[in-house]
Copies of this chain bind each other. A is one copy, B any other.
């Protein structure tokens, strides 16, 4: 039976990438020189990490004033590194709370001694709408504004067209929709993304840093591993890179380029998610509760309105080869993650399954 994996991450990777990884281990089964056994300073790996940076630059059209670094620790580590490196003047960051990961970032900044202000939150609306930047927002009182472009758990997204317009600095957590839709990098002062959703396996995190802004910071007391500048100066080799994860990331980036880049991914993602939302919207049985203009292309959240029933249906889906459809444990319901590597056939299979359940209900 064909199986599909709707995990919110780590999640599905392109089949071609999995085949290449398999071949790497096949070819090096007895050489003692497979990708997990070579030095991060070997030529083979140096070429990989340089190539990965170049491909990401190409795919996102990253301007020269931005550095790209591959780090460890996931988005959660960025919740600390960003304020440590950039909340140095006012010691104060502004947050638009559009979901669980906005709150986590805000809490982490507070815990390391920064002041934080939640400018607006849609928590009371279960994050089914996007928070709006207050018209009286005074950017000059803050080091930066923090946003999450795509709320992995709740399924709302700031697309390029509805980004908050701030006169100040803007940092975005793009963990769950980087490369899924286009963003103008120059609209941001820093961007980060954990690898395990749209970029590759867990274990590598991408940070894109405006160098001229970083140069203004006083980093007294910040440890060497927490300083972006150290990683930039050593081209992401300040210490041992997570070699396998960067290798797999590089393969995924090649695959995205071969597919036609972010524009083509965006087209496919609009099509995949559009098909699913259209089905859910016409259904009397399921509801997709996120406001239409704010809907995520990558994490499609829906429910029958009965969390116990949702759970049973998600369980039942596994027998049909459809895995990991349960919503995040904090919210329940369903979540179908349609990252770049998710084939269109997965959406068709999902809709067919949901229809059958609806008909039998």
Contacts and interface: CB of A to CB of B under 8 A. Distances in A.
Interface stretch (A1-9, A131-139, A179-187, A273-281): A1-9
Contacts of A241: 202
A125 interface: no
A244 B202 contact: yes
Given A37-B5, A244-B201, A80 B25 contact: no
Contacts of A79: 223-225
Interface string A1-30: 001110111111101001101100110111
A324 interface: yes
A305 interface: no
Contacts of A15: 29-30, 32
A360 interface: no
Interface in A7-59: 7-13, 15, 18-19, 21-22, 25-26, 28-34, 36-40, 42
A194 interface: yes
Contacts of A223: 79-80, 108, 111-112
A8 B245 CA distance: 20
Interface in A64-98: 72-77, 79-80
Given A18-B28, A28-B18, A243 B203 contact: yes
A40 B7 CA distance: 10
A13 B36 contact: yes
Interface residues of A, number: 68
Nearest to A205: B72
Contacts of A28: 18
Contacts of A200: 36
A174 interface: no
A283 interface: no
Given A3-B31, A242-B245, A37 B12 contact: yes
B29 A11 contact: no
B25 A18 contact: yes
Contact of A3 (B33, B239, B346): B33
B10 A240 contact: yes
Given A12-B32, A223-B112, A38 B7 contact: yes
A294 interface: no
A238 interface: yes
Contacts of A80: 223-226
Contact of A10 (B38, B107, B238): B38
B3 A39 contact: no
Contact of A13 (B26, B37, B108): B37
B10 A243 contact: yes
Interface of A: 3-5, 7-13, 15, 18-19, 21-22, 25-26, 28-34, 36-40, 42, 72-77, 79-80, 107-108, 111-113, 194, 196, 200-204, 221-226, 238-245, 248, 323-324, 346
23 contacts: A3-B33, A4-B32, A5-B38, A10-B39, A10-B243, A13-B32, A15-B29, A22-B25, A33-B323, A36-B202, A72-B72, A74-B240, A75-B239, A76-B239, A77-B239, A107-B224, A108-B224, A202-B241, A203-B242, A203-B244, A242-B245, A244-B245, A245-B245
Given A18-B28, A72-B203, 13 more contacts: A3-B32, A5-B37, A7-B38, A7-B39, A10-B36, A10-B37, A13-B34, A22-B22, A22-B25, A79-B224, A194-B240, A244-B244, A244-B248
